[in-house]
Structure 1
Amino acid sequence: MESVAGVTGGAAVAGPGAVRQGMAPAGGFERALARLEQSEHRAAGLLSRMASGEGGNLHRVMLEMEAVRMQFELLMQVRNRLLDAYQEVMRMQV
């Protein structure tokens, strides 16, 4: 099961100098989406193998599916926070 550091690319929480160091926020989000998609495919593969009778452990399948659900929820929360921050910046008067 991946930890939160796995979803964020292993990087610590970004500070003000994160963009200068070459860590683009959009690229990190895209990598997290790609990891989520890979995890989803892995869980779907385990589920289809178990359903077809090829074997498989129900507990492992359920853990993988729950991990994917949690990764998705975390990614949605990050997305919502980024969107709120963007909207707040756009509301600022210049």
Structure 2
Amino acid sequence: MDPIQNIPQLTPLNPVSGTAKSGLDSGAAGAEGGLAFGDLLKQALQEVNQVSAQAEGEARNLMTGESADMHTAMLAVQKADLSFQMMMAVRSKLIDAYREVMRMQM
């Protein structure tokens, strides 16, 4: 099976629809009615957690014999791993940006 054919089955990312009114208030709604940056981060973390829980369930089903489909379980585990790696990359970039802002002289 060609892995390129599976790409349309992946869920697309939601576009960022606005920015927060105040840079200090991450819980406020965006200027255009979109999600604030803090809310986007919370949503992304929830999605990573959900994918991880799904992978854990698939692996558990495979180990207990409820499911014999190893392909689905391995795909779920790889998707969870990729989601976690992406989350860690975003975290690292956020920390770098925070350190850069803290180094700025006022």
TM beyond 0.5: yes
Tell me which of 9, 12, 15 is aligned to 1:11: 15
Tell me which of 31, 37, 57 is aligned to 2:43: 31
**5+ long unaligned stretches in structure 1:** none
| 1:66 match | 78
* In structure 2, C-alpha distance between the alignment counterparts of 1:50 and 1:39, rounded to whole Å: 17
Structure 1 residue 40: deviation in Å? 0.8
**5+ long unaligned stretches in structure 2:** 1-8, 21-30
Structure 1 residue 2: deviation in Å? 4.1
How many residue pairs get aligned? The number is 87
Q: Secondary structure at the match of 2:61?
A: helix
Structure 1 residue 56: deviation in Å? 3.4
* In structure 1, C-alpha distance between the alignment counterparts of 2:38 and 2:10, rounded to whole Å: 21
| Structure 1 runs of 4+ with >3 Å offset | 1-4
Give the 3 Å change call, closer, same or farther, for CA 82–27 of structure 1 in structure 2: same
* In structure 2, C-alpha distance between the alignment counterparts of 1:85 and 1:53, rounded to whole Å: 47
Q: Secondary structure at the match of 2:67?
A: coil
The structure with more radius of gyration: 2
- TM-score, length basis structure 2: 0.72
Greater RCO, CA 8 A, separation 6+ = 1
| 2:102 match | 90
Give the 3 Å change call, closer, same or farther, for CA 4–90 of structure 1 in structure 2: farther
Structure 1 residue 57: deviation in Å? 0.8
Among all aligned residue pairs of Structure 1 and Structure 2, give the percentage whose two residues are the same amino acid: 31
The answer on whether the counterparts of 1:47 and 1:61 sit within 8 Å (CA) in structure 2 is: yes
Structure 1 residue 30: deviation in Å? 1.1
User: RMSD between aligned alpha carbons?
Assistant: 1.9
The answer on whether the counterparts of 1:43 and 1:64 sit within 8 Å (CA) in structure 2 is: yes
